[in-house]
Structure 1
Amino acid sequence: MAVLRSLRKHIEPIVFCAQVASSFFDTGLQMVVKQRSETSTNSTSQDEQNNITNFYMTFNMLIKFVPIVPALVLARYGDMGYRKLPIVVPLIGYFVSRALLLFVILLEWRVEVMYAAPVIHGLCGGFSSYWAGVMALVSVSTNEEERSLRIMRMELVYGFAGFLGSLASGHLFQLYTVRLKQGVVLSGISVMLYFFCLVYSIFVVHMNHPTVSSDRQEPPDCSGIIHHDARDLTNIVLLFTSGILYDVAVSGGVEILSVYVLKEPLHWSATEVGYGNAAGSVIFITSFLGVKVFTKLSLSDASMIMIGMISFVSGMYFMTFVTTTAMYFLARSLTLFALIPMPTIRSLLSKQVQGTSYGMTFILLQLSFRLASLATTPMYTKIYQATLDSFPGFVFTLSSIITFLSLIPISIVGCRTARQNSYERIEGN
């Protein structure tokens, strides 16, 4: 009974299992799209790359566009006290949409059927609602001093699950029998894990429904959604700007990277794809350790964000010139702290608003990423297709440039925060 009571207070099992399932799905979809592209065309490698990138462009744009209104509605209900709702409803969408890949493999449906997956998932709030709900729940249960590390710890669970899932996914994809086609085992396990998450979230996890967080230590002169201090509003705008630019650079570069490794000279198999995805998940672990070390060194949140951005700039620029698998993993190793910026930006934002607005603040940030990506996804895709013969790694240089631009607003926030803290210390004395 004591174990059950403990489990009822934690959502880490949901985050862990859902991310393992997501890793299985990502690898499975990547390999199915590659296989169908190879069998449906007798043309050149460039035509196959165009087919794959066009599929993912449409798929990713649906992921980003469809959830906008449902996610806002769920965030509103979450801030009204129903903290469980923005997590449970997207898990329903995950379960139903991920089952489509299983049917595509089993029944040999056209791969275009998978366009329905982001639509179904998006109508249930999508990842935007799910992750914003998780972050809101973590924020209302921690004080400001512990929040950055607590949010980073949740990211660690997410990343460690992705690492393990990605390592196993390539091997599981290749398991098949006379009756079961390649990929059925992988997709089947993914669907079962989502079903477990759904059942666990509905029947095991217990979440209180406070309209105001009792743990949130608000300054006595704060009221409304935003603190009544012009510097706070300015900081919010700067944090949103920096976060959007960084997300554009990361999502655009990583989306193309998943296609880049399928072509020559890398030309990865399912196993190598799994290892590559696992390498991407290692940064969750190294970023968490980085936050712990930097916190002990008393570095500010803004300083940690800039370290993470510089880490991503160096890794992505090196990725421009990758021609072997060894070089790929070396480039990935340079991005050890690349995950630090986003959770730390969320932590800084939560310190600018009241607890009753966490859900809406996080969902607006998440949706701003999605809206920006509606333009950048086709932009990255078309640039990659145009430079495929001459300079296929150019998109990674582009990601480096955009990341460098995202350093500007966060450095301003760092300066403003330092001045504000200095002023408060003087005033307090």
Structure 2
Amino acid sequence: MRFLRKFLEPLVVCAQVSSAFFDTGLQMVVKERCANASNSTDGEQTAISNFYMTYNMLSKFMPILPGLILARFGDKGYRKLPIVIPLIGYFLSRLLLVLVITIEWPIEVMFGGAVIHGLCGGFASYWAGVMALVSVSTSEEERSVRIMRMELFYGLAGLFGSLASGHLFQLYTVGLKQGVVLAVSSVTLYFICLLYATFVLKTDSITLSGCREDRRESSGIINHESRDNINIALLFASGILYDIAVGGGMEILASFVLKNPLNWNATQVGYGNAAGFIVFITSFIGVKFFSKFASDTTMILIGMLSFTAGIYFMAFVTTTTLFYLARSLTLFALIPMPTIRSLLSKQVSCSSYAMTLILLQLSFKLAGLVTTPMYTKIYQATLDSSPGFVFTLSSIITVAAIIPISIVGCRIAHQPSYERIQGN
């Protein structure tokens, strides 16, 4: 047990398996309820997309203030708080899905789950807390790979969780309705995560090697690049645009695969979600390979170009085979976001890691409050004529995200890394 105290990986893996179970369960329950309430395919799609629009907007709006508060405590030394509190929210909100299935509460009850989840900081606070803890425990040279490794564990857990989720959803008996086993498994795993984060994980055992830049200042070495506010602004701009493109496209994809011509069942939904998590593996391999000869900004550009190609092809998908082909083009699509986080952490002192990273996450949420309804309404308006148009829109926005990160690359290339000041 003492050996596990300094490792975040078991927590991330367990939480992501649970999240994969919940995502598939919610997706299938929403489809079932909307199908029962509608007499047409278009009506069902409109109901599904409207549900996810409201659910996602609540999930993005509610964590803003709690996330800032938790980040402040995190930077004051309470590194576990931005992780433990969101896990409480995860546990309580996922418990509602069990009640929706077993007691047959209206699906709108899940909006309350989004509120509870958000008031506890949500994913924004949880993942920013994880990334801050990783950042303070690694040096600048190895940080990009270390953060990507954490994303790899996250992706592998999501892959196996998604593969199993469709089969677990279909398990039921006379006394248990379809989906109960999956929902209860999700809640149980989140409870285990909460116990691990609260009683096992010890942040004081983690070496604060990521605070090297503060020691540089005290020894007379100033890193001008790390204090470049223009670079920070450009990184935020690129990250926000890329998150809009990815988030908007993936939110609509959840509805897109449930309609004709794909019309997936629970098992196919699980496999489709698993295909998305394979990107975590290929992106990690990409970072390990490209980091040997390419800069962080170059790796980000490679990832963005990969996503642009895949999401543009998704606009023309009409069969399951074409869906997986489009997914295969996005094999490096995960590289940009963790690498942007790594670059941002190199621009600030370690006492500001949590606040900087939560501000990035919350900026994604604020942008999503506009883009989620925008994508939803565009999808509904083009449902008959061109249902894949939103994916073309995502590819255009990704191209726009390439511009600020290219500027950052040029600025860093023309800046001296360090200037040594002679001491006494």
Q: TM-score range by the shorter chain?
A: over 0.9
Residue 420 (structure 1) shift: 1.1
- Whether the 8 Å contact between 2:226 and 2:347 is mirrored in structure 1 is no
Aligned to 2:160: 164
Aligned to 1:91: 87
Aligned to 2:6: 9
Partners of 1:426 and 1:14 in 2: CA distance: 41
Partners of 2:365 and 2:8 in 1: CA distance: 25
Q: Alpha-carbon deviations, 1:14-34, whole Å to 9, x = none?
A: 100000000000000000000
Residue 295 (structure 1) shift: 1.2
Aligned to 1:262: 258
The partner residue of 1:308 within 295, 298, 303 is: 303
Residue 205 (structure 1) shift: 0.8
The partner residue of 1:378 within 352, 369, 373 is: 373
Alignment of 1:276-425 (within 5 A): 276-296=272-292, 298-421=293-416
Question: Pairwise CA RMSD of aligned residues?
Answer: 2.0
Q: Alpha-carbon deviations, 1:385-408, whole Å to 9, x = none?
A: 000000000000000000000000
Residue 209 (structure 1) shift: 9.0
- Whether the 8 Å contact between 1:245 and 1:402 is mirrored in structure 2 is yes
The partner residue of 2:27 within 30, 33, 36 is: 30
Partners of 1:222 and 1:193 in 2: CA distance: 44
- Structure 1 gaps, min length 5: none
Q: Secondary structure at the match of 1:299?
A: coil
Aligned to 1:154: 150
Q: Alpha-carbon deviations, 1:311-347, whole Å to 9, x = none?
A: 0000000000000000000000000000000000000
1:136 equivalent to 2:110? Answer no
Partners of 2:326 and 2:87 in 1: CA distance: 34
The partner residue of 2:244 within 238, 242, 248 is: 248
Partners of 1:9 and 1:230 in 2: CA distance: 28
TM-score normalized with structure 1 length: 0.95
1:48 equivalent to 2:33? Answer no
The partner residue of 2:179 within 178, 183, 186 is: 183
Residue 424 (structure 1) shift: 5.2
Q: How many residues align?
A: 419
Q: Secondary structure at the match of 1:217?
A: helix
1:57 equivalent to 2:53? Answer yes
Q: Secondary structure at the match of 1:182?
A: coil
Residue 73 (structure 1) shift: 0.2
Residue identity opposite 2:159 in structure 1: F
Alignment of 1:95-244 (within 5 A): 95-208=91-204, 213=208, 215-218=210-213, 220-221=216-217, 232-244=228-240
Partners of 2:133 and 2:74 in 1: CA distance: 9
Q: Secondary structure at the match of 2:264?
A: coil
Partners of 2:302 and 2:419 in 1: CA distance: 26
> Cα gap change, 1:407/1:349 in structure 2, threshold over 3 Å: closer, same or farther?
same
Q: Alpha-carbon deviations, 1:349-380, whole Å to 9, x = none?
A: 00100000000000000000000010000000
Residue identity opposite 1:375 in structure 2: V
Q: Alpha-carbon deviations, 1:82-111, whole Å to 9, x = none?
A: 000000000000001000000000001110
- Whether the 8 Å contact between 1:311 and 1:334 is mirrored in structure 2 is yes
- Whether the 8 Å contact between 1:261 and 1:268 is mirrored in structure 2 is yes
Partners of 1:214 and 1:272 in 2: CA distance: 44
Q: Alpha-carbon deviations, 1:177-227, whole Å to 9, x = none?
A: 1110000000010000000000111111111299x945421163489xx97
Partners of 1:285 and 1:308 in 2: CA distance: 13
- Whether the 8 Å contact between 2:6 and 2:205 is mirrored in structure 1 is no
Partners of 1:70 and 1:101 in 2: CA distance: 23
1:76 equivalent to 2:101? Answer no
Residue identity opposite 2:396 in structure 1: I
Partners of 1:221 and 1:201 in 2: CA distance: 33
Residue identity opposite 2:15 in structure 1: A
- Whether the 8 Å contact between 2:172 and 2:179 is mirrored in structure 1 is yes
TM-score normalized with structure 2 length: 0.96
> Cα gap change, 1:209/1:329 in structure 2, threshold over 3 Å: closer, same or farther?
same
Residue 230 (structure 1) shift: 9.5
Residue identity opposite 1:53 in structure 2: S
Partners of 2:376 and 2:412 in 1: CA distance: 38
Identity %: 68
Residue 5 (structure 1) shift: 1.8
Partners of 1:29 and 1:339 in 2: CA distance: 24
Partners of 1:20 and 1:389 in 2: CA distance: 35
Partners of 1:222 and 1:234 in 2: CA distance: 24
> Cα gap change, 1:246/1:161 in structure 2, threshold over 3 Å: closer, same or farther?
same
> Cα gap change, 1:425/1:74 in structure 2, threshold over 3 Å: closer, same or farther?
closer
Residue identity opposite 1:21 in structure 2: S
